[in-house]
Structure 1
Amino acid sequence: MVKSVLIPGWGEANLGYEKNSRFFLHSETILVVSCLSAYKMAQVKENEYIAYANEHAGAENINDRRYWVDIGNYDSNYAFDEEHLRMRDGKEGQWSSYPWYWEGSDTRRKRFEKMRINSDKLFFTGRFLIGGIILNHIISGIDALYLSRIIDEKSYSISPKVEYINNNIRYLLSLKIDI
């Protein structure tokens, strides 16, 4: 069981269940490759939307996710400040050191927002696939434990038995051990 928790399919292979072993190993390979691909594509998309915002809004490259969300929601840092002054939440001036202004129409800002959301979706997909990898390890461990117990079950069995003798009922347990 421990082997299958570490590397899915390893415990099944040791028990002689090659089909189960291949299934868990192939599942692991697909999940890991998909996870790495999702994170890599998310990084590529993130670099694209940052470059797009630098080019069309003069945004600076800072490592604050909230900054990029706000850039997608407001035409400029001044529009951001105006709205937060009205809401009186104390966030006005938050991005005064990192100004931005979307050139031209609203379409560039909306395109940027779609690019950022697509990148976030890919990051979320990567996290979801990590959950799948963990689940694959757990299920493979459970499968290996189940298969090992099936093999052990062949050596003994317990079965209930009911007998009727002279209008009396006897309940018995029968234990058979193969040595």
Structure 2
Amino acid sequence: MKGLRPRICLLTVFCLIFGTAWAQSIPAEPQPFDAGFLTKSESAPSPARAFFYSLLVPGLGQVYAGAGTMTRVFVASEAALWSLYFTFRTVGNWKEADYKRFAVLHAGVDPEGKDRRYYVNLEHYDSMEAYNQAKLRQRNLNAVYPAHEGYEWEWDSRESRLRYESLRVSSDKAFNRALLVTGAVVLNHLASAIDAARAARKGRIEENPLHMGVMPLAEGGWMGYVVKVF
């Protein structure tokens, strides 16, 4: 015990001297070895902003995020889809004009004020009288067309009615295809937005890779480690 007490005193004095010297060597303000990652980089693209840009205009978010190759892909897809849309709409309008003109020539239809349901009925019945009789048998009085009010029609032949049906159906198909293309346009916007957000996130990772900074604390002389993982 007598030999141990001087050793404890000597160790205490050594720790006090070492701690004082270490504390004096620390600057008033902490100086990190590598802590630049603690400040958010202003140049790094925002995934949310890139997503929003491409959701509005496909390819715009890729331009913002610096993904040039995918920009061309989504812009080309958008242009092709809208070209298809206007093509199908144009064909549908042409076919619609054709079947209405055909009905005037071969069934004596008055096109003024007629809705789509009227033109659909034309392809199923040879005349307005045949149509009205069918509705009366079905007790569907509300569907009966009034006489002498411009709803009359009578096909000159069964072949003409079938030809009319083919024209009207082809018009509907064109309009339906245009509608499908609008769905593809929406998907293209969404796909571009997701890709742009991923590209922006990848850009942020490359902008701010993994760092480990060693920062001495101002009090106590301890060493602190700061690690940020992206």
TM bucket (normalised to shorter chain) is: 0.7 to 0.9
Verify: 1:76 aligned to 2:127, yes or no.
yes
**What secondary structure is seen at the aligned counterpart in 2 of 1:99?**
coil
Q: CA deviation at 1:94?
A: 2.1
Q: For residues 135 and 182 of structure 2, what CA distance do their matches in structure 1 show?
A: 37
Q: For residues 63 and 103 of structure 1, what CA distance do their matches in structure 2 show?
A: 20
Q: 2:155 corresponds to which residue? A: 102
| 1:48-100 Cα shifts (integer Å, max 9, x gaps) | 00000000001121340000000011000000011111111114532532100
Q: For residues 153 and 114 of structure 1, what CA distance do their matches in structure 2 show?
A: 58
Q: 2:102 corresponds to which residue? A: 52
Percent pairwise identity: 32
Q: 2:93 corresponds to which residue? A: 43
Q: For residues 63 and 149 of structure 1, what CA distance do their matches in structure 2 show?
A: 55
Aligned length: 162
Q: 1:126 corresponds to which residue? A: 178
Query: Which consecutive unaligned segments of at least 5 residues does structure 2 have?
Result: 1-49, 211-225
Verify: 1:67 aligned to 2:118, yes or no.
yes
Q: 1:150 corresponds to which residue? A: 202
Q: For residues 33 and 56 of structure 1, what CA distance do their matches in structure 2 show?
A: 34
Higher relative contact order (CA 8 A, sep 6+): 2
Contact 1:77 1:95 in 2 (8 A): no
Match of 1:18 among 68, 75, 78: 68
Contact 1:45 1:115 in 2 (8 A): yes
Contact 1:4 1:144 in 2 (8 A): yes
Contact 2:57 2:189 in 1 (8 A): yes
Over aligned residue pairs, what C-alpha RMSD do you find?
A: 2.0
Contact 1:57 1:101 in 2 (8 A): yes
Identify if the C-alpha distance between structure 1 residues 19 and 37 changes in structure 2 by more than 3 Å, giving closer, same or farther.
same
Which of 1 and 2 has greater Rg? 2
Structure 1 stretches of 4+ moved >3 Å: 174-178
Match of 1:86 among 134, 137, 154: 137
Identify if the C-alpha distance between structure 1 residues 136 and 77 changes in structure 2 by more than 3 Å, giving closer, same or farther.
same
Instruction: Report the TM-score, using the length of structure 2 for normalisation.
Output: 0.66
**What secondary structure is seen at the aligned counterpart in 2 of 1:113?**
helix
Contact 1:82 1:92 in 2 (8 A): no
Verify: 1:116 aligned to 2:155, yes or no.
no
Q: For residues 142 and 63 of structure 1, what CA distance do their matches in structure 2 show?
A: 45
Decide which structure has greater strand share: 1
Aligned partner of 2:198: which letter? Y
Q: For residues 78 and 109 of structure 2, what CA distance do their matches in structure 1 show?
A: 40
Contact 1:24 1:136 in 2 (8 A): yes
Q: 1:163 corresponds to which residue? A: none
Q: 2:220 corresponds to which residue? A: none
